[in-house]
Amino acid sequence: MQQSFDLFFVSSNSYKYQEVKKILNSFEIKLGFFKFDLEEIQSNSLKDIALKKAKDAFFKCKKPVIIEDDGLFINSLDGFPGPYSSYVFKTIGNKGILNLLKSNRQAKFVSIISYCDKKILLSFDAKLDGTISNSQKGKSWGYDPIFVPKNSRKTFAEMDNKNELSHRYKALKKFSNWYLHK
Ligand code: IMP
């Protein structure tokens, strides 16, 4: 029997949904998946991109929704790829990023979770500092094989507790605190 949900995650990325679902389940929030490729506006602001995606997602899904927009910001590249992380991953990928870097490998991952229903449009953001590894390590999705979070020697792809400390976890924790008390 199909389960009904009060909250849906709208995205075309099922890896992201699996992570978001697991994290929200740990806060006792059940989450449905509305698989849809939302259009991304071009903007230097992750928050503006996320809010527009959330409005479009609610229009499409007609139920309370959350969406996520992320960016990988690399210090020595003045924050590149940032809001263009998705395009850069699809074009030059992890190999291309590694080829661009020299000694300064500081970076951060930023996550914006935006919620939209009939009356409310809100965002929750979080960042996680780290570094870019010298080579790809571990098998996983996106930038996981090259991002090493602060205080770790392993890339996200090599860790088994990514969902307890990631940028996504931190933004979803803020969202859950609000959602469970609204
Ligand atoms: P978007 O939010 O889907 O636009 O994500 C931007 C880019 O960052 C995409 O290429 C994602 O695959 C990548 N990305 C976002 N979050 C993560 C993560 O937790 N691990 C690895 N890559 C990620």
Rounded distance between C-alpha atoms, residue 165 and residue 95, angstroms: 25
Joined tokens for residue 41: 């506006």
**How many domains are there within the chain?**
1
Rounded distance between C-alpha atoms, residue 75 and residue 15, angstroms: 26
Q: State residue 15's pLDDT score.
A: 95
Q: What is the pLDDT along the chain (182 residues), one digit of tens a residue?
A: 557 899 999 999 999 999 999 999 999 999 999 999 999 999 999 999 999 999 999 999 999 999 999 999 999 999 999 999 999 999 999 999 999 999 999 999 999 999 999 999 999 999 999 999 999 999 999 999 999 999 999 999 999 999 999 999 999 999 999 999 98
Is residue 160 annotated as part of the catalytic site, yes or no? no
Residue 1 included in any domain: no
Report the CATH number that the domain containing residue 140 is assigned in CATH: 3.90.950.10
Q: State residue 105's pLDDT score.
A: 98
| Best of 40, 48, 68, 86 for a ligand 1 pocket test (most atoms within 8 Å of beta carbon) | 86
Q: State residue 2's pLDDT score.
A: 59
Determine the distance separating the centroid of ligand 1 and the alpha carbon of 125, expressed in angstroms: 14
Q: State residue 1's pLDDT score.
A: 53
Residue 13 included in any domain: yes
What residues make up the domain containing 75?
Answer: 7-179
Rounded distance between C-alpha atoms, residue 128 and residue 109, angstroms: 5
Q: What pTM value is reported for the model?
A: 0.96
Residue 2 included in any domain: no
Q: 58, 95 in Cβ contact below 8 A?
A: no
Q: Which one is catalytic: 6, 48, 56, 69?
A: 69
Pocket of ligand 1 (CB under 6 A): 13, 68-70, 72, 85-86, 89, 141-144, 156, 166, 168
